[in-house]
Amino acid sequence: MLLKVTILNIDSGGKPVIFLNDKDSDELNITASERVTVQTKKKITAIVNISTTIERGFLGVTDEVRKILSLKQNSKVNVEIAPFPKSLQFIRNKLSGKKLLYPEVREIVQDLVDGNLSENEISAFVTALHIDKIDLDEATSLSRAMVDTGKTLHINKKIIVDKHSIGGVPGDKTTLLVVPIIASEGFTIPKTSSRAITSVAGTADRAEVLMPVEFTINRMLQILKKSNGCIVWGGAIELAPADDIFVKTEFSLHIDPLLLPSIMSKKKAVGATHLTIDIPAGRGAKMKTTGEADLLARDIMELGRRLGIHTHCIVTFGEQPIGNTVGPALESKEALEVLMNQKQVPDLIDKACNISGSMFELLGKKNGYSLAKKILESGKAEQKMREIIKAQGGDSDILPEDIPIGKYSLVIRSEKSGQVLWMENRIIVEIGRAAGAPKDKGAGIIFNKKIGDSVEKGELLFTICAEKAHKLDRVKYILSTQLPLGVGKKSDMLIHTITESPIVERTFVIDR
């Protein structure tokens, strides 16, 4: 069917999408969400929207389609019904409980990256992986397919080290310590990190306070030549781009069946040979029990084995923030203070040394924990961090006091005396984001008390910082209904009373 182009001036999130009049779609025997081919000299497949506001005989095109086919207003194009992509048949097989083989998974992931699958279809696939549970064969196929449909890093080294945390714990700035500790021993650690999606800060947001983090793959390789280590934003270098698309769907549904393929494909794409994965566990973490954490570790290690990556896991305490700060700038500042041995933050140091130590032992060194601690205390980690900051184009002389923190603050004191009995990661995140993080880098929370600490009535519990005064209003509102920590007596038994059918709000952290 020959149609005239009408330019819509909207984009459709990367996917080629077109709009057809309902009469024309009838004529083509096609309904919404099906696919047509649109042909000029080139030919592409696009997903159909049906519209009554597009005139008969016209084809509404989004920016994606306009650009690929170099279309102008009133250009003529040939539009025909397209065969269903083969991958859709494979998705349907998955919906009927069939196990998918590598070529099938590869086809699905390729069509996903090429924008050939509709929201419906992606959502159904992700839901099926969630409900049916993906097994290790499928997780392996997905990891490989995600590597094969993206860019990869080629570092000319036999040993490439990497780390990752399953996430879910606010204030986890451990990577800012681990990367320089490992790199200062001469190992290559090409760390790519994400920005916050649902959390207060991602490692890329934290690192960006100290230095630029957006680079091409080639610039990343140059940085690594200089400093052995780097902390860059993974989103800029198109490793495993399928993951970004999956994440959008998972985020909206609060499910993350692709967690393992997502992590492992990115590690494989940078060429990692030795890897430590941190699995925070406990109330308020992604893994609620150590049993769950151990089972996840088992799967991660087997997946590592299949992908040729020597993998260790460590399970860590995840029921409260790491260190005393939450928020990009506050966290970078705290990390820098610890690197400079200006401050003792025992849980942060312990976690960093445990992860670094595990990596050292994976690499054949003995007493990894002590080695890591020694590197940190000797100032070698600080020195290496400054090399990395310089290589990435930041100010290598930066001091903690140079880091700007939001100047508006709200101080919360205890209304009673007792002990901090619990902290609630979900509410901490809600408050941190309401204060403006991760967008406002200077926004965040400073905790003076953590679980187990004794508290006097009137004593300072925590301070919220913001760059914009009005954002504290929203924080006050949240604090009027819920608190991020509880002070009480150790003998307090009641958790809560239920008198009507409850609506459950669950934590969900998609950042990975």
* Least distance from a second copy to the Cβ atom of residue 144, Å: 18
* 11 vs 238, beta carbon nearer a second copy: 11
* 34 vs 292, beta carbon nearer a second copy: 34
Q: Is 26 among the residues that bind a second copy (CB under 8 A)? A: yes
Q: Is 80 among the residues that bind a second copy (CB under 8 A)? A: no
* 118 vs 227, beta carbon nearer a second copy: 118
**Distance (Å, whole) CA 147 – CA 262:** 10
**Distance (Å, whole) CA 443 – CA 409:** 9
Task: For residue 39, give the H/E element and its range.
Answer: strand 35-39
* 18 vs 309, beta carbon nearer a second copy: 18
Helices 328-339, 346-362: axis angle to 10 degrees equals 70
Any idea which residues carry the catalytic annotation? 256
| Phi, psi dihedrals of residue 475, rounded to the nearest 5° | -60, -45
* 269 vs 435, beta carbon nearer a second copy: 435
DSSP-derived pairing of the beta strands 161-165 and 274-281 = parallel
Name the one range near a second copy by CB under 8 A: 2-10, 388-396, 451-459, 475-483: 2-10
Q: Is 374 among the residues that bind a second copy (CB under 8 A)? A: no
By C-alpha distance, which of 301, 310, 291 is closest to 136? 301
* Least distance from a second copy to the Cβ atom of residue 193, Å: 19
DSSP-H helix ranges across 72-118: 86-95, 102-113
**Distance (Å, whole) CA 479 – CA 464:** 11
* Least distance from a second copy to the Cβ atom of residue 475, Å: 13
* 124 vs 420, beta carbon nearer a second copy: 124
DSSP-derived pairing of the beta strands 58-61 and 76-81 = unpaired
**Distance (Å, whole) CA 65 – CA 15:** 8
Q: Is 19 among the residues that bind a second copy (CB under 8 A)? A: yes
* Least distance from a second copy to the Cβ atom of residue 103, Å: 8
* Least distance from a second copy to the Cβ atom of residue 303, Å: 23
Q: How many residues belong to the site for a second copy (CB under 8 A)?
A: 59
DSSP 404-446: ---SEEEEEE-SS-EEEEEE-HHHHHHHHHHTTTTTSTT-EEE
Q: Name which position in 45, 102, 130, 409 contacts a second copy (CB under 8 A).
A: 130
- The 247-276 contact track toward a second copy, x by CB under 8 A, reads -xx-xxxxx---------------------
Contact 387, 226 (CB under 8 A): yes
* Least distance from a second copy to the Cβ atom of residue 441, Å: 13
Q: Is 121 among the residues that bind a second copy (CB under 8 A)? A: yes
* Least distance from a second copy to the Cβ atom of residue 88, Å: 8
Residues 6+ apart with CB under 8 A from 58: 3, 4, 5, 6, 21
Q: Name which position in 298, 305, 439, 476 contacts a second copy (CB under 8 A).
A: 439
CA angle 467-470-475, nearest 5°?
A: 90
Contact 277, 197 (CB under 8 A): no
* 62 vs 227, beta carbon nearer a second copy: 62
Name the one range near a second copy by CB under 8 A: 213-221, 223-231, 244-252, 363-371: 244-252
Residues numbered 158 to 197 that lie near a second copy (CB under 8 A) are 197
Q: Is 63 among the residues that bind a second copy (CB under 8 A)? A: yes
**Distance (Å, whole) CA 377 – CA 400:** 17
How many residues are given for the chain? 512
Residues 6+ apart with CB under 8 A from 367: 357
Report CA Rg, the chain: 25
- Sign of the alpha-carbon dihedral angle for 250, 141, 512, 207: negative
* 33 vs 70, beta carbon nearer a second copy: 33
Q: Is 11 among the residues that bind a second copy (CB under 8 A)? A: yes
**Distance (Å, whole) CA 174 – CA 302:** 25
**Distance (Å, whole) CA 490 – CA 453:** 12
* Least distance from a second copy to the Cβ atom of residue 122, Å: 8
Q: Name which position in 60, 150, 284, 304 contacts a second copy (CB under 8 A).
A: 60
* 126 vs 297, beta carbon nearer a second copy: 126
**Distance (Å, whole) CA 70 – CA 26:** 27
Q: Name which position in 114, 132, 148, 299 contacts a second copy (CB under 8 A).
A: 132
CA angle 221-227-233, nearest 5°?
A: 55
Name the one range near a second copy by CB under 8 A: 84-92, 218-226, 375-383, 452-460: 84-92
Residue 178 CB coordination number (10 Å): 31
Name the one range near a second copy by CB under 8 A: 25-33, 259-267, 300-308, 317-325: 25-33
Residues numbered 30 to 59 that lie near a second copy (CB under 8 A) are 31-34, 49-54
* 29 vs 491, beta carbon nearer a second copy: 29
Contact 404, 442 (CB under 8 A): yes
Name the one range near a second copy by CB under 8 A: 24-32, 37-45, 292-300, 383-391: 24-32
Footprint of a second copy (CB under 8 A): 8-13, 19, 26-27, 29, 31-34, 49-54, 60, 63, 86, 89, 91-93, 95, 97, 101, 103, 118-124, 126-128, 130-132, 197, 248-249, 251-255, 433, 439, 501, 503-506
